[in-house]
Amino acid sequence: MNTITTSRDPVEYDEPGMGRVQAWPLPCDEDTLWMLSKDVFQKYWKDIVFGMLIPGAAWEIRAPNEPTKVSVLDGYLTVDFGAWHFHICIGHFSGAEEQDAFMRRTGRAELYRVLGRDGAPKSWGLRMFNNAGQQQMTVFLPNPFLTPEQQMADAPDWSRLAMWDWLRETYLDLPADPKDRSGRGFACGD
């Protein structure tokens, strides 16, 4: 197990368009972010949806296949699916002035869960932001209230929290949290 020690206590805040969020900060060094990205995209590519989640837009993308390559070159992470790929600056980029290179780099990464009005979790994910505070990517983790096809489930499937539990244990040294299994459903705007 590649445990990375960070704060065991979440940061809690209200985020426009999402509601109440609990987030556990992750280290933002290149090695940790590369290892995390490899784990997420190579081990769980079939289970995740990823893209951008910003006020006014949600890009929810499914991987068409296992990545052919997850690599880092000149500070840029590349996840290549063959027909298409994406890049995120996670380390030192030598192709820009130092201030510009710093602003491009991931400055905040977090595992998060969104709480419903009842205080129970209803959504789980991973987010990365650059040092300018702009979102680089959101990975929507499997949700027990949604089917793998992203439709509302008739009943919660708590086994869909396995990835969340594994990421918490591996990257935060935290056990599964019973609170994650306390919700009754998922509703946008709740």
Spatial distance between the Cα atoms of 42 and 186, rounded to a whole number of angstroms: 27
**How confident is the model over 28-41, as pLDDT tens digits?**
999 999 999 999 99
pTM greater than 0.85 (yes/no): yes
Burial 166-185 (b: 16+ CB within 10 A, else e): ebbebbbebeebeebeebeb
**How confident is the model over 150-189, as pLDDT tens digits?**
999 999 999 999 999 999 999 999 999 999 999 988 766 5
Query: Cβ atoms within 10 A of the Cβ of 153, count?
Result: 15
Structural contact between residues 127 and 110, judged by C-beta atoms closer than 8 angstroms:
yes
